[in-house]
Structure 1
């Protein structure tokens, strides 16, 4: 699967780009990395973090679909619907 930006093949992207790529805010992306739903970044230098675009794509495809169960609760089970 090709990942390109302006004709340049992408291997790694920064935090903000990774969040945009999967459709969440940078804060939500940080939480997903912390809890293991998204991969840990790679470190090309001491203070630079980048995410492997293929690892992100794989992790994204492992996320549950809307009506799948997450932590034993159906995502379509909204407590507000029961009120």
Structure 2
């Protein structure tokens, strides 16, 4: 997950604690607060995956006997921080196209932004779909497309 906002400053333990608190709030006050829980849940999953990739990269770098150890660890650290990904959660997808999550959700609902793909119940937006939808948005000062209902 590209670090976006507060979750980039929190440790995994702090994110897990916030997720537990959000779960209690959802349990006590209903599904109104479910989006907050989902965002925290995504942040925890993404942080865990990031830490696992970082560790794997460091392990691979340590096992490479042909490279200087210090340089290999630096490369592993840099590689783990790169945010090249194929799919984004809703908050990241909204940020990717420069919108807030509620406006992004409205554009998904009205069809101007793509619907998510689903993997094991998790909603993910393909960056290529987001790019295509963004390219299809009109430019400023472009007249709207002709509406056949206006002909009456």
* Distance in 2 separating the partners of 1:29 and 1:9: 21
Partner of 1:55: 129
Q: What is the CA deviation profile of residues 55-77 of structure 1, one whole-angstrom value per residue up to 9, with x for unaligned ones? A: 000100100111112466xxxxx
Q: Which is bigger in relative contact order (C-alpha 8 A, separation at least 6)?
A: 1
* Distance in 1 separating the partners of 2:136 and 2:145: 14
Q: How do residues 16-31 of structure 1 correspond to structure 2 at under 5 angstroms?
A: 16-31=91-106
More strand as a share of residues? 1
- Tell me, what secondary structure is at the counterpart of 2:124? strand
Match 2:108 to one of 25, 33, 47: 33
TM-score by length of 2: 0.41
Structure 2 portions without partners, runs of 5+: 1-79, 147-152
Structure 1 portions without partners, runs of 5+: 73-83
Greater Cα radius of gyration, structure 1 or 2 = 2
C-alpha displacement of 1:8: 5.3
> Cα RMSD between the aligned structures?
1.8
Aligned length: 67
- Tell me, what secondary structure is at the counterpart of 1:68? coil
Partner of 1:11: 86
- Tell me, what secondary structure is at the counterpart of 2:111? coil
